[in-house]
Amino acid sequence: MSRGLTRVSREKFQSISAADFFYRNREIAGFDNPVRATYTIIRELVENSLDACEQYSIMPDVRVKLIDDGNSIYRIKVEDNGIGVPYEQVPYAFGQILFGSKYTLRQSRGIFGLGGKMAVLYGQITSHSTVKALSSTGGFEKYFYELSINVQENKPIIRKKEVTPNPGRWRGTIIEFSFEGDFVRAKPKIVEYFRQTAILMPYANIIYISPDGVLYRFDRITEVMPKPAEEVKPHPFGVDIEMVHRMINASRSTTLMDFLANNFHRVGVATAMNFLKSIKMSPDLNPKTMDSKDLVKLVSRMKDYGEFQPPDAQCLSPVGTDLLKAGIIREFSPEYVAVTQRRASAYAGYPFVIEAAIAYGGRVPITPADEMLVLRFANKIPLLYDLHSDVAMKVIKRINWQRYKLDVKTMPIAFFIHICATKVPYKTVGKEYIADRPEVEYEIEWALKTCARELKTHMGKKERAYIAQRRLTVFERYMPLLAQFSTELAGKDKPPDYEKVLKRLQAHAREVEQRSAVKAE
């Protein structure tokens, strides 16, 4: 016991920076080993580039080059035509963990404001690499930085800085650094990542040059883009005490009525008044002087109140059925593809939209009996791991496909499911699969069933066309003989004019055929 006591003074209490925390626990952000890190680095940088374009209605041109420098060291270079990082923000945007522009309520790929810096940090700790960043917001100057991260203090260290003229008004960002990786084993996932990303973004030019010299190229096939997501106020179902407390501190309202009507999504004066009446709190109460008990009551009652309008989807940016269809056709040239978009729904105050598609035939492969081709996306990010833990798989297994005349085990069928949300309900922080929230489950189920019904109709038409064609073949073959025999039997010379009948049958078969024609074109 006394031994224990004497050791008190030796116990080291210490505070560590956020960068240091993530350096020590880098598996949280997907940097467990060189294979995973190689994939994660590419993914994080590409996502940042795509967000820098899409959120500003810029058609993305993204170019990724991975170079093998030997001894397991790779150099990554990612170039985009995005909005650019403002001059004074560059060091923080690439050299300080938990600094970013994504801490708002709208759909974006990143959720942590963490991935890009973790990529840079991983490069630094495995190969002592600095990061080189060239950026411009399209003004008269472009600026080059060479940075590293002071991990213990979570601060950028500027190694070099250069401002040069930008006569061409170039706009975008180029980032480059080295890291220890394993390209050979990460290769299939990387290619799959680009392929699936391109499906959702037929309006993007994406080029990826791999270390083995192969150039993967996904060309823009449309000039149409989804509208960007807008930032919204928080919905009363999606707040907690800490958040409301902060909102009160930040607000200038001196009455509860005013505070509610001005700070919440889908809450106006009338709704605020009715709500306050129902929970018996005075509209004139000053929120800044409210006691702890009232605050708890206010927030907990918000979640139970049934009269708030559900959140709307202006903060979301779904792909849309046309673009999704175009992307699927470019990749799979299916015989038929059914695409649907559900109306916005919400879970726990967070709005979401489900888009789904089922493609049949064409270049859709027939998978082994116990596998299914399911492509999942969340806020336009392909999810490549842990399919079997995902809610989409649960729903697919539950649906009775026979009802839709689909044999998912033997037919060449591919499923596509895309969830857009201000907060995607990932089950883990690895961002690889979606949790089974009942609201999400319901929407996925009905999206898939809608597609399946459409596909069933197509299959029915196709079957009728097939029957009409077969009938025609029989007539075409036997009608001349029949005409000849019956002429002979009747003792006549000239056979009847069966051509007219045949022509009518041919016209019918053609019509049925056309009606079932590949809608996918």
Q: What residues line the site for its own copies (CB under 8 A)?
A: 1, 3-5, 7-8, 11-18, 20-21, 23-25, 27-28, 56-58, 71, 83-84, 86, 89, 92-93, 96, 98-101, 103-104, 111-113, 124-128, 137-138, 151-152, 171, 240-243, 245-246, 292, 295-296, 300, 426, 428-430
CB of 18 to its own copies, least distance (A): 4
Q: Token match 């299916």: residue?
A: 334
What secondary structure does DSSP assign to 304-320, as a single string? H-TTSPPP-STT-----
Closest CA to 39 of 140, 200, 167, 186: 186
Nearer to its own copies, 8 or 481 (CB): 8
Rounded least distance, CB 145 to its own copies, Å: 15
Is 58 or 373 the residue whose CB approaches its own copies more closely? Answer: 58
Q: Of 11 and 521, which CB lies nearer to its own copies in the complex structure?
A: 11
CB of 56 to its own copies, least distance (A): 3
**Nearer to its own copies (CB atom), residue 20 or residue 322:** 20
Please, what is the minimum distance in Å from the beta carbon of residue 87 to its own copies?
A: 11
Could you tell me the smallest distance in angstroms from the CB atom of residue 204 to its own copies? Answer: 15
DSSP state of 335: S
- Residue 296 CB neighbours (<10 A): 13
Nearer to its own copies, 25 or 282 (CB): 25
Question: Residue 104 has which token pair?
Answer: 């708002």
Beta-bridge partners for 383: 376
**Smallest separation, CB 260 to its own copies (Å):** 18
Residue 443: in which H helix or E strand, if any? helix 438-489
Nearest distance from residue 423's CB to its own copies, in Å?
9
Distance (Å, whole) CA 129 – CA 170: 27
Query: Where are the extended beta strands (E) located within 110-256?
Result: 131-137, 141-150, 155-165, 171-180, 205-209, 215-218
What's the per-residue H, E or C state across 38-80?
HHHHHHHHHHHHHHHHHCCCCCCEEEEEEEECCCCEEEEEEEE
DSSP calls for 217-250? EE----S--PPPP---PPPGGG--HHHHHHHHHH
Give CA separation, 294 vs 73, 248, 286, 387, in Å.
58, 13, 11, 45
Residue nearer to its own copies on the CB measure, 388 or 398? 388
User: Smaller CB distance to its own copies: residue 300 or 309?
Assistant: 300
